[in-house]
Chain A
Amino acid sequence: DQQVKQNSPSLSVQEGRISILNCDYTNSMFDYFLWYKKYPAEGPTFLISISSIKDKNEDGRFTVFLNKSAKHLSLHIVPSQPGDSAVYFCAASDPGTASKLTFGTGTRLQVTL
């Protein structure tokens, strides 16, 4: 049973618009969440994270929102750029096994001109 779910396998957004990638989780013990980005033929690279004591974390064009009651987080990219086209993975960990990341299946973002 998947504890981290990314229900949209793909998303297409026009350059300059907002991209919103969603992630749901089922394990209420998760208290730390991360987003990774992956280009073809490369490994995932860390993008942004959020602790459960916050509901928002911002880093430049990237903002992650956490709704603990809904067990939902989202990644907003504003404005979207063609170089943002990649697969985005949501991941989570709990305090007991902090080094063990549980990943979602990923969402492929395509930013079009």
Chain B
Amino acid sequence: ETGVTQTPRHLVMGMTNKKSLKCEQHLGHNAMYWYKQSAKKPLELMFVYSLEERVENNSVPSRFSPECPNSSHLFLHLHTLQPEDSALYLCASSQGLGRNEQFFGPGTRLTVL
């Protein structure tokens, strides 16, 4: 595997379900990000982790819970989501914060019924 991978690529869940999105980066980076892209809206930054510590929480509802167990893996735990949470969730990584290029994964297309 190379670059940034995300699983699953597609997910359909009910509002009462609990699921997790997984991201893995194979680039040796130490910063990871979760973005959300809703239909016809710009990518919105959700969370930023640097050296496994959360450094940014962009006013995201608590039904989204990130976890970064090590610098290569990032999870987004989902519970009691709403239909308006249906979106493309993108993971990215970079070598350090600041102006360093962010490398994106292909995303998980989430549908909440």
| Size category, A interface | 20 to 34
Q: Is the CB–CB distance between B99 and A104 below 8 Å?
A: no
Q: How far is the CA of A106 from the CA of B42 in the complex (A)?
A: 7
Give the A-B contact count at a CB cut-off of 8 A.
57
B interface footprint on A23-44 (CB within 8 Å = 1, 0 otherwise): 0000000001000100001111
Q: Is the CB–CB distance between A46 and B48 below 8 Å?
A: no
Q: How far is the CA of A4 from the CA of B44 in the complex (A)?
A: 12
| Size category, B interface | 20 to 34
Shortest CB-to-CB span from B4 to chain A, Å, is 7
Question: Interface segment, B14-22, B76-84, B102-110?
Answer: B102-110
Q: Is the CB–CB distance between A43 and B42 below 8 Å?
A: no
Question: Interface segment, A13-21, A58-66, A92-100?
Answer: A92-100
